[in-house]
Structure 1
Amino acid sequence: MIDRIIRSLANRTPLGWRQLRHSKTRLIVALAGVAVADVLIFMQLGIMGALFETAVTPLRMFKADIVLLSPEVRELGQSGTLPRRRLYQALGVEGVASGSVLQIGAASFRSPSSIRQANVMVFGVDPDFDGFSRPEIASQLSKLRVADALLFDRLTRQPFGAVVARAEGGHAVPVEVTGRTVSIVGLFSLGASVASDGSAIASDQTFLRLFPRNSAAAASAILLKVAPGADAETVAERIRRVLPASDTKVMATEQYADYVKQFMQDNTPIGFIFTFGVIVGFFIGFAIVYQILSADVNDHLPEYATLKAMGYTHRYLLGVVFEEAFLLAALGFVPGILLSFVLYWLLGAGTELAIAMPASRPVLVLAMTLAMCLFSGAVATRRLKAADPADVF
């Protein structure tokens, strides 16, 4: 069956390609239109994906397999609180190896050399906490035993360039946080997010001094590590049977990351705006390709009528138009994805957002491009019905 299809395609005259190639100006315009539509779609998906990923990047600092959260949780910076005693109850569940309380708050940081402020997400941890996945953080936790000491994200947005430079030299740098002076005693790299300009890590005691409304009896999140060889989801299900669902939500770490991204997709303007941008890009490409194919069909109606008079079926003529649409999609996609890689790099360098190109995205955009062009071809083929051999003779 497949061999017969391949032989049929090999013996078929490529009328679609020859028609496209006949008018090089029209071909270039069509390919540019497809490429622009692809770039628009790639950029919308890239920025949206980067913004969603920054929302869960702080979570990847921790070597946690399971996260306990308040049922009110929305995203990492809006996690609500749950009772601290849930940690000790969870430690008694089979398969749980260790755990720790995590406090999360947002505060305005002001550099001594500037009146500008930055909104920084502060994480409060036990200085003996052995749960950071990044060695540069784990190696500096002992510095947090000093009162009012912080580890600061060197990738925090301006105006903290001078502060970071001094801290890089090994100096303890004072900054003002919610009206209190604290010292930056070390640096790490994480990056800004949608909700914050950067991050900082403090001891749990320093955190409570910075956020006096928070209570030591409550936690923003509880991080758990499972025993070697244990399945995180199985252990999570055991914890759910022990802890009350009224004040504790139990999720595997990656499940929580997916939950945050889905929440942002469905409930924030970010998801709507960028999804709408993808739809706009699709219809821009559709309109351009439709105009090209429609004009091409209209210009060659006498030739199509002649082919009908020679015995070619209407289905064959539709195949010619769809061949043109397929070629426009395939050829226009190449410059579109290449330009998108360049723009991803430029945008990442300019905004400090980690804009990546996952393997699934080109596949998705290529499928959308094919659908866009074939849909345009399907609409344009309505003119073929007007190709009447009687008009030729």
Structure 2
Amino acid sequence: MSGLLQRLFGRMPIGWLQLTHRRGRFIAALAGVAFANVLVFVQLGIMNAMAAATLRPYDFFVADVMISAGDANALNEGGNVARQWMLQAFADPDVVAGMGLFVGTAPWDRGEKDISLNTLGVDPAQPRFLAPEIAADAALLKLQGAAILDRRARGLPREEAAAIRPQTPRSFETEGRTVTAMTTFAGGGGFGGDGYMIVSDQTFLSLFPARRSGAPDHILLQLRRGADATAVAARLRTLISDDSLRIRAYADAAQEDLRYQQTRRPTGIIFGFGVLIGVLVGLVIVYQVLSADVADHLREYATFKAMGYGPMFFAGVVVEEALVLGLLGFAPGLVFGAAILSLMGALTTLPLTMTPGMAVTVFLGTVLFSVLSGIVATRRLAAADPADLF
């Protein structure tokens, strides 16, 4: 390591030698930096999982424009939308098809613990609005009480989910009704439920008798090929007479839902602060180590300063130490962070994985903040007189 640093800096690796002179402190410092990296990795992993879980249900459908109630900040929040607005939307020449989407939550009592299923009611006669995997089985939903179940639902054993198919359906009770899962699709648990269940709009209304067929939660629209969804949404806002509605391109609705979850929901804000806390912990640890090292070697620095070495030399030494701490502390942080995320993902079925983007971001952040801490730690040397340092 000394030889590599000497070739890199073109001088004796003073920073490395100073750090390794007291191995116990050096190992503790690396552990502290690794711990800060693990904190950041875990929080970033959770934030990414929340983003993936938020956007996942939007992938179940194929639409260009979505009409929602004014207070519908998320797919499963807000009031209902009168179906008559879908009929008004057909007055726009670019709108070619529409479907009401019903959203609710149904519990599946499995004895030890309920499974909370985000239930989506769709029109099985319009498979064009469904993702290919779901559309292939849409005809099964025409049977009253039939459902397509999320095989990745949290709490549902994989072998039990694998056995569900049209020849061997699985019936269960929810909301006082019997639902029969005819087949499965790949959904996944999120922060607002353990999984998903797709049923026909008529089955949905039987599960939630307080709901009305003329008032779905959202209206999905498909446009003619080549039409601009944003431009059509703007026209529909002037065409439809209810000014309170949120009429957006379908992709924009998904991104607005994500921003809402990240910036206005408590979970998103907490995870964001978790990342910030991890960064601050790393900054404090590196700064404390470097400050202590500078204090321990004041006489040596004073000698160098009396010999005519300037501030850039001292900054280079301390930045060298910061780089060593950041680089060597990152590696164990990456390993332990990936292991913890993998374990959490297996236990929660959330998409908690280490991504290359996360690794690069945390690596660059670790190096940057380590160097910043090193620069701050040299401020005492920059203005001090050599005589004062002795």
Taking structure 1 as the reference length, what is the TM-score of the superposition? 0.88
Equivalent residue runs for 1:272-283 within 5 Å = 272-283=269-280
Equivalent residue in structure 2 for 1:118, among 103, 115, 119: 115
**Native 8 Å contact 2:322 2:374 kept in 1:** yes
**Native 8 Å contact 1:84 1:217 kept in 2:** yes
Residue 3 of structure 1 is matched in structure 2 by none
Residue 334 of structure 1 is matched in structure 2 by 331
Is 1:90 paired with 2:89?
yes
State the 1:367 CA deviation: 4.2
Residue 27 of structure 2 is matched in structure 1 by 28
**Native 8 Å contact 1:226 1:232 kept in 2:** yes
State the 1:75 CA deviation: 1.6
Return the alpha-carbon distance in structure 2 between the equivalents of residues 84 and 266 of structure 1. Answer: 31
**Native 8 Å contact 2:237 2:243 kept in 1:** no
Root mean square deviation, CA, Å: 2.6
Letter in 1 for 2:194: D
**Residues 90 and 28 of structure 1: is their aligned pair in 2 closer, same or farther, counting only changes over 3 Å?**
same
Is 1:243 paired with 2:240?
yes
Residue 66 of structure 2 is matched in structure 1 by 67
Residue 269 of structure 1 is matched in structure 2 by 266
- 1:127-170 C-alpha deviation (Å, 9 max, x unpaired): 11223554332111111111111111122222666853552483
Secondary structure of the corresponding residue to residue 167 of structure 2: coil
Residue 211 of structure 1 is matched in structure 2 by 208
Letter in 1 for 2:115: A
Return the alpha-carbon distance in structure 1 between the equivalents of residues 369 and 83 of structure 2. Answer: 53
Equivalent residue runs for 1:288-367 within 5 Å = 288-367=285-364
Secondary structure of the corresponding residue to residue 148 of structure 2: strand
State the 1:77 CA deviation: 1.4
**Residues 95 and 380 of structure 1: is their aligned pair in 2 closer, same or farther, counting only changes over 3 Å?**
same
Return the alpha-carbon distance in structure 1 between the equivalents of residues 130 and 14 of structure 2. Answer: 59
State the 1:221 CA deviation: 0.9
Residue 197 of structure 1 is matched in structure 2 by 194
Greater displacement, 91-100 / 185-194: 91-100
- 1:268-288 C-alpha deviation (Å, 9 max, x unpaired): 221232122222212221222
Letter in 2 for 1:270: T
Which sections of structure 1, spanning at least 5 residues, go unmatched?
A: 1-8
Pairs aligned (count)? 384
- 1:328-374 C-alpha deviation (Å, 9 max, x unpaired): 22332233233323332222122100124455433442343234323
Letter in 2 for 1:237: A
**Residues 163 and 320 of structure 1: is their aligned pair in 2 closer, same or farther, counting only changes over 3 Å?**
closer
Secondary structure of the corresponding residue to residue 228 of structure 1: coil
Q: Percent identity?
A: 40
Letter in 2 for 1:259: E
Equivalent residue in structure 1 for 2:180, among 174, 183, 194: 183
Letter in 1 for 2:246: K
- 1:27-60 C-alpha deviation (Å, 9 max, x unpaired): 3332222121111011011112212321231111
Residue 220 of structure 1 is matched in structure 2 by 217
**Residues 307 and 235 of structure 1: is their aligned pair in 2 closer, same or farther, counting only changes over 3 Å?**
same
Letter in 1 for 2:176: G
**Native 8 Å contact 1:191 1:352 kept in 2:** yes
Return the alpha-carbon distance in structure 2 between the equivalents of residues 95 and 67 of structure 1. Answer: 14
**Native 8 Å contact 2:170 2:180 kept in 1:** yes
State the 1:82 CA deviation: 0.9
State the 1:389 CA deviation: 3.0
Residue 4 of structure 2 is matched in structure 1 by none
Is 1:153 paired with 2:150?
yes
Return the alpha-carbon distance in structure 2 between the equivalents of residues 145 and 65 of structure 1. Answer: 25
**Residues 96 and 22 of structure 1: is their aligned pair in 2 closer, same or farther, counting only changes over 3 Å?**
farther
Letter in 1 for 2:90: L
State the 1:14 CA deviation: 4.1
